Structure 1
Amino acid sequence: MNTNTFIDKLTQELSEKNPYLSVNKARTWIELLWSDFESTYAKAGYDYRGGEYTEKIIRQWIASYGDKIHEFAGRNPKYSHLLDENDDDIIQ
């Protein structure tokens, strides 16, 4: 399975878990989490374990924090742009 397929599946899961995020915002979060996890894991000197491993970790994060991720973005200026109120795709 390629990275885009993993990201598509995880985006769907996050958008279902958090009604405050549009599909576009959910995808942005998944892409950010994916790249941050893989780069941090590599910088720590660990061998690459594949997309399945990254998917597993991000799925755990979605289960634990997915419904609150928009609150984190609102408190952190580095990520606040991810919560643009003008997003037309917000799920109600």
Structure 2
Amino acid sequence: MNTYIDKLTNLLLEKNDMISYLQARTWVELLWGDFEATYAKAGRPYQGEQMTERVVKEWIESYGSKLHMFQSMREDVSHYLDQSRGLLH
């Protein structure tokens, strides 16, 4: 799975130069986990990492350039997405 996460993180960094590597990776991990959780809650059978990668890649292609404008409500990761922290890549 780390290979998928690394690949998607780099894609997001290509799409959005307003976020750091850590922020991009956090977004990718959030999108990945949210997709898998939503899919499971819907009672659908697991389709594998390739499907999750495809969906997250589509989201990055569509919304990646704007992700820095969103703020996560999840307290456990919100500090990673804070734009005032860290250097950009």
Please indicate, yes or no, whether the TM-score normalized by the shorter chain is above 0.5: yes
Residue 63 (structure 1) aligns with: 61
| CA deviation after TM superposition for structure 1 residue 84, in Å | 3.5
Q: Does 1:24 align with 2:42?
A: no
Residue 53 of structure 1 corresponds to which residue in structure 2? 51
CA distance in 1, matches of 2:82, 2:68: 7
Is the contact made by 2:19 and 2:83 (CA closer than 8 Å) also made in structure 1?
no
Q: Deviation per CA, 1:49-88, whole angstroms, max 9, x where unpaired?
A: 0000000000000010000011122xx5x15531241212
> Which runs of structure 1 show a deviation greater than 4 angstroms over 4 or more consecutive aligned residues?
none
- Once the two structures are superposed, the pairs formed by residues 1-92 of structure 1 within 5 Å of their partners are 3-73=1-71, 78=73, 80-81=78-79, 82-88=81-87, 90-91=88-89
Tell me how far apart the structure 2 counterparts of residues 42 and 31 of structure 1 sit (CA, whole Å): 16
Give distance in 2, aligned partners of 1:71 and 1:84.
9
Matched pairs, number? 85
Q: In 1, distance between residues paired with 2:15 and 2:9?
A: 10
Unaligned segments of structure 2, at least 5 residues: none
The share of aligned pairs that are identical, in percent, is 52
Q: CA RMSD in A?
A: 1.3
